[in-house]
Structure 1
């Protein structure tokens, strides 16, 4: 049995939007805090996945997610790494400066970072409490002890290892994976791209309807695989856009399926880039300047918590006695196979109860981000980055 190499008041697993916010929150409250991250940088889907923009922080001009998440956005903007669309609540960003801003804020708060460290196991007591996590890194396998553990892995990896029950699939397939990529050399001045790169209603990234129609009309002729959108997000650099249009059905909590999906999506990136370059004048001089380190994952595990947020509660903005965060993004369900999605806009921002962040019988484990306790419909809004930051802040407090 591995000896505990270090012990902390709070151990956060996963350094994505939920995780780095949870760690900063805990450390600022005076708790000794460790943040365990598999990559050599922080940011999760925002940086490894290039998932842009960050959304949604406001609703019709009203701030919905504030505190440390909003402080991060303002600080990133001051560094020249973000553009905050205050009326719409979206934040365009530069991934490299995002990494740096995360790192600075985490270290300034006094968090101990464990980068390049993969969660590989958990050590529990007979009463269900977690004593330590096991991580694999360049030093070998080590055990990290803690009083409280927060699962911000996105996929609920720590919760699953600890034996936490998960939500049923409700007889519906998981939402598909997408690998984002960046195109440079794009003529972003054309009306249809200007429209597509800006946001409407509550801040949803607009798909380009004209380009979509042509892609669907010539799908077989041009050799186009299944796709979504396409959605183009502006960046802070001229002639550069992030592209969200690849997709494949897969269970990202299954390693063989995830491996297949990664390979398939990487092929799709260059297929899509070629099609855009050959058939649309805006992209005639474009080239792939970056591809996400990993596929963007929309949905995997969700815990069966002390309370499960239902679609009815969410769309009707039920206010729980233990509300700790909110959500304003539309309910956004991407169809596993095909080019469509089902979107329901919220009439008012929703609420998240603290009871959705833990499961009965697991006394020192909290979750935040994509793996909180919600049904598939409510989850389809809560999965976005601003909402993940909000639940991370709640868990870290």
Structure 2
């Protein structure tokens, strides 16, 4: 491969106590927590709006907040839901606490809350590099994150950084070791939005009951039969799962799927083309075979493909599926999750869906890597095995990780200490004051 060498001077346009990379559910709450704790904070987002998988990916509902009759994920994440509900942008599906939401109002509430907290927002900015240095102890300390946008290349200085990119983009650029890559990553899915649907005829549209996998078994069985008989061209599918957006006749459909390493640009591009073709094909099939969809029209595909699994850091502690499913309460537990372990097959329509006995715990040590004293993660890129990750990767749980990471970064900034030196008793006490649920 031919190479060119480019040297350039990059202006340092700003400096912060805490720099949050990624404006999805985890990043939003991380930036909010950091700023409210008094840290000068910014957030960097590649799109022109916040929300990540919720708004760019159209992944709905926000799941899961409640389990066994209790609010499991609370504090700033639930405050966000309440603010969203206050403007007619959210509905809680009781008792489980899945949140049906309006993507547009989600974007609005997210930016309002961050602006109110004094967070600087860098939209349309793609993270393209990280500058870091070794200290006398051999630790890697990030000094700048490099972004590219219409202004050209810019550097943002930070004392502490939070990687909320989902794909560990910043962490990978800084040289953080990663978990071994599974032989088959979970498949990617492109959510599509249909109008003209008889939503009253779709009982699975409201995700309200504990212990239920809300996929449409009737359509699943029909499409499986059509695939096996070869009577129709039926692409690989999952679910299907539906969710509303608080508007009559409009449904988000989650059923496209295909294996792809979404950290590879060429692979990701080809995958999005394929899944977009499949979204149109599924619309045709739904209209043809399912009365509730006979008048359906495809009005949008998500701006980005939904990603279940890519890079995860090799942290100070790797949360195992056994620890998580047994609800081991660690001395440094800072977040929880209660979504089923949800592992989708990369090369078939099958899915492992294992429901929890009780909500699991995530230790603080899973949010940072040894020898990287000013970096935390807040999202599905935290240190976990495939089983634990397959539950915690969903939006409500990720918001809880963001609350923990943002609060910890602000505490570290106040004390001018490494993230690994943060007193976890102090951190947990502050999270409890914010409303987090950290006990059985």
TM-score normalized with structure 2 length: 0.88
Matching residue of 2:235: 225
CA distance in 1, matches of 2:109, 2:209: 29
Matching residue of 2:285: 275
1:204-283 matches, within 5 Å, as 206-219=214-227, 220-283=230-293
Matching residue of 1:175: 186
How far off is 1:3 after superposition?
A: 3.4
Q: Are the aligned partners of 2:368 and 2:377 in contact in 1 as well (CA < 8 Å)?
A: yes
Pick the aligned partner of 2:31 from 23, 26, 46: 23
SS of the aligned residue for 1:243 comes to strand
Matching residue of 2:109: 101
Q: Are the aligned partners of 1:301 and 1:371 in contact in 2 as well (CA < 8 Å)?
A: yes
Does residue 135 of the first structure (1) align with residue 143 of the second (2)? no
Matching residue of 1:153: 165
CA change 1:117–1:203 in 2 (3 A) is farther
How far off is 1:61 after superposition?
A: 2.4
CA distance in 1, matches of 2:336, 2:378: 13
How far off is 1:120 after superposition?
A: 0.3
CA distance in 2, matches of 1:234, 1:61: 24
CA distance in 2, matches of 1:137, 1:242: 31
How far off is 1:205 after superposition?
A: 5.4
CA distance in 1, matches of 2:399, 2:211: 17
SS of the aligned residue for 1:175 comes to coil
Return structure 1 stretches of 4+ with deviation > 2 angstroms. 198-205
Matching residue of 1:54: 62
Matching residue of 2:428: none
Pick the aligned partner of 2:196 from 164, 181, 185: 185
Matching residue of 2:328: 318
CA distance in 2, matches of 1:81, 1:5: 35
Does residue 37 of the first structure (1) align with residue 66 of the second (2)? no
How far off is 1:200 after superposition?
A: 5.6
Stretch deviating more after TM superposition (103-112 or 197-206): 197-206
Matching residue of 1:335: 345
How far off is 1:5 after superposition?
A: 1.5
How far off is 1:208 after superposition?
A: 0.9
Q: Are the aligned partners of 2:190 and 2:301 in contact in 1 as well (CA < 8 Å)?
A: yes
Matching residue of 2:417: none
How far off is 1:2 after superposition?
A: 2.0
Matching residue of 1:80: 88
Does residue 296 of the first structure (1) align with residue 315 of the second (2)? no
Gaps of 5+ in 2: 1-8, 408-440
Matching residue of 2:174: 162
Pick the aligned partner of 1:3 from 11, 30, 49: 11
Does residue 349 of the first structure (1) align with residue 349 of the second (2)? no
SS of the aligned residue for 1:218 comes to helix
Q: Are the aligned partners of 1:26 and 1:396 in contact in 2 as well (CA < 8 Å)?
A: yes
Q: Are the aligned partners of 2:94 and 2:209 in contact in 1 as well (CA < 8 Å)?
A: no
CA distance in 2, matches of 1:269, 1:138: 32
CA RMSD of aligned residues (A): 1.1
SS of the aligned residue for 1:189 comes to helix
TM-score normalized with structure 1 length: 0.97
Q: Are the aligned partners of 2:68 and 2:358 in contact in 1 as well (CA < 8 Å)?
A: no
SS of the aligned residue for 1:290 comes to strand
How far off is 1:60 after superposition?
A: 2.4
Matching residue of 1:380: 390
SS of the aligned residue for 1:129 comes to strand
Specify the structure having the higher radius of gyration (Cα).
Answer: 2
1:196-211 matches, within 5 Å, as 196-199=204-207, 201-202=209-210, 206-211=214-219
State the Cα deviation string for residues 236-263 of structure 1 (Å, max 9, x = none): 1111111000011000111111111111
State the Cα deviation string for residues 174-228 of structure 1 (Å, max 9, x = none): 00000001111111222xx21x213364375511111111111112212110000
